[in-house]
Structure 1
Amino acid sequence: MNNNLKIGVFVDAENIRYNGGYQLRYDILRRFAARFGGNLLRMNTYIAFDQERAKEDYEYAKRARSYQQMVRDYGWKIIVKIVRRYTDEEGNVTTKANADLDLAVDAMLQSEKLDLVLLVTGDGDFLQVVTALQDRGCRVELLGFRNVSKELQRQVDDYFSGYLIPDLLPISYEPRNEWGSPGSCVRGICSKWFPDKGYGFLRFIKRIDPNLWITDPRDAESPYESVFCHANELADGVTDELLSSRENVLEFYIEKSEKGDGMVANNVRLVPSYGNHGL
């Protein structure tokens, strides 16, 4: 562990919420950001708030403030972005609460005292910000869910799918899920698939760990676990072609194998497309 590492986390909350990360757990995100040890000097999240709606909708105002307080309790600084309404020439009303500029400026200014910056977004508009942070000597990591810019993924020093981080996004239909335990539901990828044999192997992260770069589950220091999967356990629509790409995240249950010490996968399906939810 590097106790001298200075870390900053910047969360584009609206981008994440609309792209699969609704219900992201800020306590788990904090643990993930600090997996190397070190000091979390900055933890900023940029959250939209609709003042006009709050005046008329008491429940919305109550939920929004309760949510903000919960995030604050985990040690995060909240930067509230007020929702603005714009009316075009045809009378159509659009809303916007863009935090890009605020996040970019804060990340640049505050990076002078940081070694590692974790950006939580999928917005390709941050490409130049990433380059500038790297030019300053910062290591830049990216975490996102859906619709993550490919250019941004290539530019950062490391990219992580938020779906794969244990407990970062709750399994909605398994509220007491114990990630990684027999009988639990996890998310992972297909590491090997043999279409002619009708089976293959899936891989998931067992725990938040600084050794996420050790992807071979056979290594004792690896935080990954390999799971056997038979074609009979694949849900409709999970094809050989989909399994051949590691960009496709799978959700599945794990059980102890009856034939050995390993794990087997049940009810394997693609990660559901989480809808756009509001507070």
Structure 2
Amino acid sequence: MKISVFVDGANVFYMQKDELKWWINFEKLLRWIENRTGGEIIDAYYYVGEENPPDTRQQGFLTALADIGYSIITKELKIIVLDDGREIRKANLDIEIVLDMFNTIENYDMAILVSGDGDFERPLRLLRARGKRFMVMSTKRFIARELREVSGMHFVDFEDIRGEVQKET
């Protein structure tokens, strides 16, 4: 079975920081996926917003991911100024993830989505209708209800596999 992995970088960053309170080792994650599914990862994509100029710490992380085998897809962060003057940085790569899922659909048998974003509910339903298998990886406290409902038994909670994918500190 051929597998493609799609990681929603911003969603996963905040899941780790705000909910899990521990960090994922993304190399261990790929090995865990192969062991769990019995398949072969043919592509792994990591989607993330990027500062301009790039943040050196983030750039080091992205270089390490590329060395592991992830294809890095970036989009420049936009700065949105709220009415009260506060700034929010946002890149929203959901459409890029969905486009890549469907533009590469002939290359894989199973898609692994690492995200808790409810916007992916409809694309996963469409993948299922096209005969593709999928798995969603997030955590129970961070996954949107719609995404949790569509994933059913194909949901993996990072809390359940912490010992196998946690980054050593």
- Fold match, TM over 0.5? yes
Tell me the CA shift for residue 112 of structure 1.
2.3
Give the corresponding residue for 1:48. Answer: 49
Give the distance between the partners of 1:87 and 1:62, measured in 2 at CA.
24
Aligned-partner SS, 1:34: helix
Runs (5+) with no aligned partner, structure 1: 55-60, 176-279
Aligned-partner SS, 2:164: coil
Given residue 79 of structure 2, which amino acid in structure 1 is its aligned partner?
A: R
Indicate if the aligned counterparts of 1:8 and 1:111 stay in contact, CA closer than 8 A.
no
Aligned-partner SS, 2:15: coil
Tell me the CA shift for residue 90 of structure 1.
5.2
1:6 aligns with 2:2: yes
Tell me the CA shift for residue 91 of structure 1.
3.9
The structure having more radius of gyration, on CA atoms, is 1
Counterpart of 2:145 (choices 132, 147, 150) is: 150
Give the distance between the partners of 1:86 and 1:150, measured in 2 at CA.
27
Give the corresponding residue for 2:63. Answer: 69
Indicate if the aligned counterparts of 1:163 and 1:169 stay in contact, CA closer than 8 A.
no
Indicate if the aligned counterparts of 1:130 and 1:140 stay in contact, CA closer than 8 A.
yes
Indicate if the aligned counterparts of 1:104 and 1:129 stay in contact, CA closer than 8 A.
yes
Given residue 77 of structure 2, which amino acid in structure 1 is its aligned partner?
A: V
Indicate if the aligned counterparts of 1:13 and 1:46 stay in contact, CA closer than 8 A.
yes
Tell me the CA shift for residue 154 of structure 1.
2.1
**Shift in alpha-carbon separation, 1:94–1:135, aligned structure 2, 3 A:** same
Aligned-partner SS, 2:137: strand
Aligned-partner SS, 1:141: strand
Give the distance between the partners of 1:118 and 1:138, measured in 2 at CA.
11
Q: Deviations over 1:187-232 (max 9, x none)?
A: xxxxxxxxxxxxxxxxxxxxxxxxxxxxxxxxxxxxxxxxxxxxxx
1:168 aligns with 2:162: no
User: Percent of pairs identical after alignment?
Assistant: 26
Given residue 6 of structure 1, which amino acid in structure 2 is its aligned partner?
A: K
Aligned-partner SS, 1:19: helix
Counterpart of 1:123 (choices 97, 117, 120) is: 117
Please give the TM-score of this superposition, normalised by the length of structure 2. 0.86
Please give the TM-score of this superposition, normalised by the length of structure 1. 0.54
Aligned-partner SS, 1:160: strand
Q: Deviations over 1:67-123 (max 9, x none)?
A: 111111111101112111123455443221111111111112112221111100000
Matches within 5 A, 1:18-37: 18-20=14-16, 23-35=23-35, 36-37=37-38
Give the distance between the partners of 2:142 and 2:39, measured in 1 at CA.
31
Tell me the CA shift for residue 64 of structure 1.
1.4
Give the distance between the partners of 1:64 and 1:94, measured in 2 at CA.
18
Runs (5+) with no aligned partner, structure 2: none
Aligned-partner SS, 1:147: coil
Matches within 5 A, 1:95-110: 95-110=89-104
Give the distance between the partners of 2:87 and 2:77, measured in 1 at CA.
12
Aligned-partner SS, 1:137: coil
Give the distance between the partners of 2:117 and 2:89, measured in 1 at CA.
18
Give the distance between the partners of 2:149 and 2:83, measured in 1 at CA.
40
Aligned-partner SS, 1:23: coil
CA RMSD of aligned residues (A): 1.9
Give the corresponding residue for 1:81. Answer: 75
Aligned-partner SS, 1:72: helix
